[in-house]
Structure formats: structure tokens, C-alpha cells
Amino acid sequence: MRMYDIIVKKRDGGELTKEEIEFFVDGYTKGDIPDYQASALTMAIYFQGMTPEETATLTQAMVDSGETIDLSAIHGKKVDKHSTGGVGDKVTFIVGPLVASVGVPVAKMSGRGLGHTGGTLDKLESIKGLEIEMTKEKFIENVNTHKLAVAGQTGNLAPADKKLYALRDVTGTVDSLPLIAGSIMSKKLASGADSIVLDVKTGSGAFMKTLEDSENLAREMVNIGNNLGRNTVAVISDMNQPLGYEVGNANEIREAAEILQGKNVEDLRKLSLEIASHMAVLAEVFSSYEEAYSALEANIENGKAFQSLRTLIEAQGGDVSMIDDLDKLPQAKYDIEVKADKDGFVSEIDAESIGIAAMYLGAGRATKEDQINHGVGITLNKKIGDEVKAGEALVILHSDEEAAQASVDKVMEAYTISGERVEKPTLIHNIIK
Ligand code: URA
């Protein structure tokens, strides 16, 4: 088999066989196929697309290129959750304890990564003492005992994707639906879950800006999951503004804990219950969405969901008093109000700019070596549709510097205030199964 023939076949619109896709993924991972041929093929895929069978085969080949995590020693159906990424997205900290409280086993492997705020692990490390490095045996034991554990990702998962994603990044071939879907799903499938709920974001702060693109990506991912024997459901949710009111690390943990204690931050609570309900149905703990939703809601009201968060923290050596008394979480030195310059209604909040403003404060990493400052972050006082008067605070910056001018400017850039009344955006656009 020759790589040249595979490139020409795809360039001319042909459908690649399983053997051809495996030849490419295997050869590229080992270094036998050079970057220039891999980039020619990804460009051909960019223009010609892939059939659902080709996409599933590509994904499986990327999974098989490295280690996979074996969760079979965990009792029950393991359901994972993945978000395509957004600002203020602390849903994992809510749905993990929530679904664990109704008996769904949650074996969460998470990363750090670069971003406007820390990754899941960084945010959790706002809690003093919380240990995210543990042996595989301990991880499995914790899930079997407490239904929930969160650990740092170990192992060499989907190395073919790692290499290919880096290549796509510099050759203009990231924006190909089958390649994005295969890339995301290869990492999820290698992590060992039986079923997956995807939170596909849509809007100005999302990877996919239009609803149509988000739905197409969701369909590709659901097809891959179902083709490879994992029940997969995608929730398409809005990212035209940050989710909830807190953006940062410790303050996102605080907001998640408050939701579990029954606080009604409308968008965040609703999306968390939606995702948790689909997870509980896929785990076969409930037979219907409605049944799952009301049981989960009841566990917020009766305190079981919050107790499940406490158990997670205790089991992993964290200081649970920081969750019982949220004022004990790390806090920044200064609170700086960023004020509206006119009367009106908030019509837009560019989520990405809010994320960048948080990163300027030190909430995220610009390079791998950067340290996260857990106490800094942003509290939004106003969201889309809210009325505002000139001089009223739009947000509060939690900063360790007295004047955080770059962040203030970025927040002012993020907010648009209109003279006309504005509707609140729809939160959940579609469910794709
Ligand atoms: N995120 C991924 O993991 N892969 C892509 O291709 C795009 C976004």
C-alpha cells in the first residue's frame, strides 16, 4: 500500500477502506509517513469529507494508536461527560456529584491544559489538600465505594490524535467536521466509558459559532459513538455569554457548590440537570428523562448531591471545611468594579473577552509553565437581557493587583449595552441522539 495512492483517492472523492485508514494512522504515528503526506491527506479530507464509516474507522484507529483505560472493574455502567469548552463552564463539578448521588458511577479523568481559566484539575486544586494523583487501583476503589473520583489523566491516550491535531493546527485543517469529531471522540473512547454525554457549545464564545455547525459536529460525534458501541447523546447549549456568574477557579468551585446546595443560578442549574438526566438514563439508573430529572432535582433539595461533593473531597484528602464555609476558599486581595458607561440593556457579552480578562488576572495559563492563581477571577453582575444604569457595576474583578487595567479594558470591550429591551438567549438549543 502506498500513501500516495491514498491521498489521490481521497483527493478525487473516493471512500477510503479500513485498511487504508489504518495504514495511514499507524504509519503516521510511528513516523513512517512524513508530515507532508499526512497534511496532503488531511487537506483532501477537509475538501472531500468522510462517510460515517470512514470517520468511525479513523476514530477507532486513533484510539488503537495508544493506551486505553480499562474501567471494567467498576460496577455499573460508566458514563462520561465532555464539553467542547466554554467560559464559566463548571458543569462537571455539579453533574459529577449529582449523578453519583443517584448511583451512577463517575470515573472522571481530567486534564489541565492551556486556557482562560484553569482546567478541571486546577479548579479542584483550589481546595487545600485535594489530591488528584492516585494509582489506578485507588481510583477504581474510590469509584466503587463513593461512586465518584476525579484523577489526572495518565497514560498515552490516542497519540495519533495528538500528532495529527498539532499538524492540522499549522496546516489549516482543524476546521473539518470529521477530523474534529474523530479527534474529540478518540480521546473520550480511550478513557473507557460505556456511554457519553456531549455538551456541544454554540455561539460567540464557542469553538462552533453557528447553531448549524454545532449541530453538524454533534451529529458526527454521536454517529461515531453509536457506530463504535457507545451510546452517545449530545446537548447543544448556548455559549453567547459565560455560563453562570463566576469565571475563574475557586469562584467557579464556589458557584458549583452553591448550585448543589440549592441556589438557583438559572442557566447553570438548568444545563447541569439536563446533562445529568441524560447521563443517568444512559447509565440505566432511570428509564426516562423525566424520572431522572425529578430524582436529581430532589437530591439537590434534600442535600444528597451536596453530600456527594463533600464525600469526593474527603476521599481525596481535601479540606472539606472550605466547602462547608465557602469563604474559606482562596480569595484575591482586591475587588474592582467595572462600571457601565450608559443606561440600557445588556445585549452582548463576548465570552472569549471575559475569559481573556480572567487570564490577565492570573486565572489561566498562557504557557504550560505558568502558575494558576486560584483566588483571582471575575463575577458577572449583569447578563444578557439585564437592565443596567450608568455607573452600576457590570462585573467585579477579583484581582491581586490594585489596578488591573488590561482586564478592565477587556471587560468593557466584552459588554454591549443597547437602548432596546433584549430577550435572554435560549439556553438549550437541541438534543441529538
Ligand atoms: N478539540 C479537539 O480535541 N480536537 C479538535 O480537532 C478540535 C478541538
Per annotation, catalytic residue among 147, 187, 201, 398 = 187
161 annotated active-site: yes
345 shares a domain with 308: no
Q: Alpha-carbon distance 381 to 26, whole Å?
A: 51
201 annotated active-site: no
Beta bridge partners, 428, equal 237
Task: Indicate the top mutation candidate among 46, 162, 183 to test ligand 1's pocket, ranked by most ligand atoms within 8 A of CB.
Answer: 183
Residue 96, all three cell numbers: 459529577
Under 8 Å CB-to-CB from 85, ≥6 apart: which residues? 115, 201, 206, 207
Cβ of 352: how many Cβ atoms within 10 Å? Answer: 17
The burial class, CB within 10 Å (0-12 / 13-18 / 19+), for 266 is: exposed
426 falls within a domain: no
Residue type, 335: D
Under 8 Å CB-to-CB from 51, ≥6 apart: which residues? 15
150 falls within a domain: yes
404 shares a domain with 313: no
Q: Which of these three, 308, 324, 340, is where a domain ends? A: 324
Q: Please give the tally of structural domains in the chain.
A: 3
Q: Which residue owns the Cα nearest ligand 1 atom 1?
A: 184
Residue 398, all three cell numbers: 477579583
CA of 83 relative to ligand 1 center, distance in Å: 11
Phi, psi of 230 (to 5 degrees): -115, 120
**What CATH number is attached to the domain comprising 379?**
3.90.1170.30
431 falls within a domain: no
24 shares a domain with 169: no
Q: Alpha-carbon distance 42 to 424, whole Å?
A: 40
Atom of ligand 1 nearest to the CA of 165: 6
**What CATH number is attached to the domain comprising 106?**
3.40.1030.10
206 shares a domain with 318: yes
Atom of ligand 1 nearest to the CA of 207: 8
Q: Alpha-carbon distance 65 to 52, whole Å?
A: 20
Task: Indicate the top mutation candidate among 174, 185, 186, 191 to test ligand 1's pocket, ranked by most ligand atoms within 8 A of CB.
Answer: 174
Alpha-carbon dihedral of residues 246, 252, 254, 256, nearest 10 degrees?
A: 100
234 shares a domain with 184: yes
320 shares a domain with 350: no
Enumerate the H helices of 147-199 as residue ranges.
159-169, 177-190
231 shares a domain with 215: yes
Contact assessment for residue 149 and residue 96, using Cβ atoms and an 8 Å cutoff: no
Question: Does ligand 1 come within 6 angstroms of the Cβ of 183?
Answer: yes
Q: Which of these three, 302, 324, 346, is where a domain ends? A: 324
CA of 176 relative to ligand 1 center, distance in Å: 10
73 falls within a domain: no
Q: Alpha-carbon distance 57 to 189, whole Å?
A: 13
Question: Does ligand 1 come within 6 angstroms of the Cβ of 306?
Answer: no
172 shares a domain with 25: no
116 annotated active-site: no
Rounded (5°) CA angle 97-101-107: 55
235 falls within a domain: yes
112 annotated active-site: no
327 annotated active-site: no
Per annotation, catalytic residue among 116, 168, 188, 201 = 168
- Residue 264 CA from chain centroid, whole number: 21
Domain that holds residue 44: 3-49
Beta bridge partners, 70, equal none
Per annotation, catalytic residue among 10, 78, 81, 82 = 82
pTM tops 0.85, yes or no: yes
Task: Name the 3-class secondary structure at 251.
Answer: helix
303 shares a domain with 193: yes
Beta bridge partners, 377, equal 248, 398
Q: Which of these three, 272, 300, 324, is where a domain ends? A: 324
Contact assessment for residue 332 and residue 377, using Cβ atoms and an 8 Å cutoff: yes
Residue-level pLDDT, tens digit, the chain, 433 residues: 999 999 999 999 999 999 999 999 999 999 999 999 999 999 999 999 999 999 999 999 999 999 999 999 999 999 999 999 889 999 999 999 999 999 999 999 887 766 788 888 899 999 999 999 999 899 999 999 999 999 987 778 999 999 999 999 999 999 899 999 999 999 999 999 999 999 999 998 898 999 999 999 999 999 999 999 999 999 999 999 999 999 999 999 999 999 999 999 989 999 999 999 999 999 999 999 999 999 999 999 999 999 999 999 999 999 999 999 999 999 999 999 999 999 999 999 999 999 999 999 999 987 878 889 999 999 999 999 999 999 999 999 999 999 999 999 999 999 999 999 999 999 999 999 9
360 shares a domain with 385: yes
Give CA separation, 332 vs 147, 326, 335, 360, in Å: 33, 14, 8, 14
Question: Does ligand 1 come within 6 angstroms of the Cβ of 46?
Answer: no
207 shares a domain with 355: no
158 shares a domain with 188: yes
